[in-house]
Amino acid sequence: MELFYNKDIDKKTVEFQLDGIENNHIIKVLRKKEGDVITFTNGKNLKFKVKIIKLSRKSSLFKILSSEVVESNKHLHVAISILKSSSRFEIFLEKAVEIGLSEITPIISERTLKKNVKIERCNKIIISALKQSFKYNLPKLNKPVKFKDFIKLNTGHNKLIATCENLKKKSLAESFHISKNNIVLIGPEGDFTENEVKKAIDLGFKPVSLGKSRFRAETAAIIATHTVSIVNM
C-alpha cells in the first residue's frame, strides 16, 4: 500500500489530473492500472480514496471516491538551529516528519555556523517522509529566522527551550501541554549560549531536559518529537 500527495485536492474535488514525478511513479514504478483504487492526501489532515480513471505518461485522470479527516499532532512546533551539516539537518526533517509534528522553523543563533537551508530541497524531503510514514498533515517549513527575533513571537503558546545549562528544569514530557500549541527550541552544536537561554526565559520560555545524556542537535530534536508523540497517545 502506498500514499500519494496532491496539495490541490480537497473535499469539493470530484476528479483531478496528475502529471510529473508522482504520475510517473504510479505508472512506471508501481505499474498501477486503470480501475485501481489508491490513497491520496493533500497534507491537510485529509485522506482520499481515489480511483484511477485514465493513465497517461503526460497526465493521468483520477476520481475521488471518498474522503475522511485523520487526526494528527497539531500542537508541536520545533524550532531548531540550522546545523553545520546539511545531511544531519535533513535526517532531523525526515525522522521528525515520520514521527509527527506540525511546524518547523530553522533558527540562527549565536553559535549557528550555517545561515541558510535549501527550502525547496527540504520540502521535498518532508513530502517524501509524509508519504513514507502515512502521515496526513504536512508540516509547515518556515524560512530561517534569527533566534533573538523568534523568541519575541508566538505569544500565548506553551514555549519550551531544551538546554544543557545547569538550571532547574522539568522534563519535556512534564512540560508539554496537549491542549495548547507547543514550541520547543533546540540549539546548535554546543547548545545555546547562557545569554540566549536567559533571554528566552525572560520572554516566557521554560527550560526543559531531554534526559541525562548529551545529544547531537538533530538527535535532540528527534527525541523531543518522539517524546511529544508518546505524550499525545
Enumerate the CATH 2.40.240.20 domain ranges in the chain, comma separated. Answer: 3-69
Fill in the amino acid letter for 153.
L
pLDDT < 70 stretches in the chain: 73-74, 233
pLDDT of residue 36: 97
The CA distance from 79 to 147, in Å, is: 9
What whole-number distance in Å separates Cα of residue 72 and Cα of residue 92? 19
Query: Taking the CB of residue 15, how many other CB atoms lie within 10 A of it?
Result: 12
Measured CA to CA, the distance from residue 172 to residue 162 in angstroms comes to: 8
The hierarchical CATH code for the domain 3-69 is 2.40.240.20
Position 233 scores a pLDDT of 67
Cα 206 to Cα 97: distance, rounded to the nearest angstrom? 24
Would you say 9 and 64 are in contact if contact means Cβ atoms under 8 Å apart? yes
Number of H helices, E strands in the chain: 7, 13
Average pLDDT, the chain: 93
What's the pLDDT at 52?
Answer: 97
Could you tell me the three cell numbers for 233? 497517545
Comma-separated ranges of CATH 3.40.1280.10 domains in the chain: 76-231
Enter the CATH code of domain 76-231: 3.40.1280.10
